[in-house]
Amino acid sequence: MDWNLGGLSELTKMVILNYGLKILAAIAILILGRILSGIAKSIILKTAKRSKTDTTISSFVANIAYYAFLAFFIVAALGQLGIETTSFIAILGAAGLAIALAFQGSLSNFAAGFLIILFRPFKVGDYIDGGGVSGSVKEIQIFTTILTTPDNKKVIIPNAKLTSDNITNYSTETTRRIDINIGVGYTDDLEKTKNVLNDILSHYPEILSKPKPLIAISNLGESSVDIIVRPWVNNSDYWNVYYRITEEIKNRFDTEGISIPYPQRDLHVFKKD
């Protein structure tokens, strides 16, 4: 390679040629490392998909592999620059301890990620309520879990926040119970009301026969007699049936003359001479 370095001393030329090539080689290693790390991640994801491995596990392992490959090429690039990698790794280990103390939150998120993978409170695709947010699990990463809300918002939750609080998983079981609470007037015929509710439920093929739907008086309130309606459906039918039944109850009650009273109080006025 013939570079035009006229006007420079031989020592300067030697330094530029020597270290210039090393710097270029180190940059090339870093670029190559990033490309190969991405390829390794892609291969893991594709292999897992072909073998029908759980997306939760494959995504988590792929992310770890990506950063592990990247760290290897960073060390290789430093070695290309003439830095003693053995000493560097020892220094890196000492620095890692200091960094670990400074970033305890990130490490707790990392540990929480392993706990999620190990104990499987939820998996990719499940609809959960955790960390103060409800949504479908899109991805479980090393430090965070990504949810997609019903109105299509992307929410990123630290793993430690999920594992340190209650997690409600709505997708674990195949069936789910619908709970509808209705208040009717004290002067309404309760037997007729229950018959109307039973008739409404009988027209929904999505409602399961076992367990049998429950219709019962739950409370004698201040303004109404409270009735609970509890049919069971498949998980996938929950919201569709819930909305339809709620609307039909209101329409049928209007047709049948069954009242849904507003909160009210009887006020008695006494006149005193």
Report how far residue 164's alpha carbon sits from residue 16's, in angstroms, rounded to the nearest whole number. Answer: 55
What single letter denotes the amino acid at residue 12? T
The CA R_g of the chain, rounded to the nearest whole Å, is 33
- Residue 169: φ, ψ to 5°: -105, 115
What single letter denotes the amino acid at residue 60? F
Domains of the chain by start residue, with CATH: 10-102 (1.10.287.1260), 121-169 (2.30.30.60), 175-256 (3.30.70.100)
pLDDT digits 0-9 by tens, 122-164 = 998 999 999 899 999 998 888 899 999 999 999 999 999 999 8
pLDDT at 13: 55
Instruction: Tell the burial category of 145 from Cβ atoms under 10 Å away from its Cβ (0-12, 13-18, 19+).
Output: buried
DSSP-assigned states of every residue in 170-223 = SSSSSEEE--EEEEE-TTS-HHHHHHHHHHHHHT-TTB-SSSPPEEEEEEE-SS
What single letter denotes the amino acid at residue 166? N
pLDDT digits 0-9 by tens, 73-124 = 777 777 777 666 565 566 566 655 555 544 556 778 888 888 888 888 999 8
Q: Is the entire prediction scored with pTM above 0.75?
A: no
pLDDT digits 0-9 by tens, 160-213 = 999 988 999 999 999 999 999 999 999 999 999 999 999 999 999 999 999 999
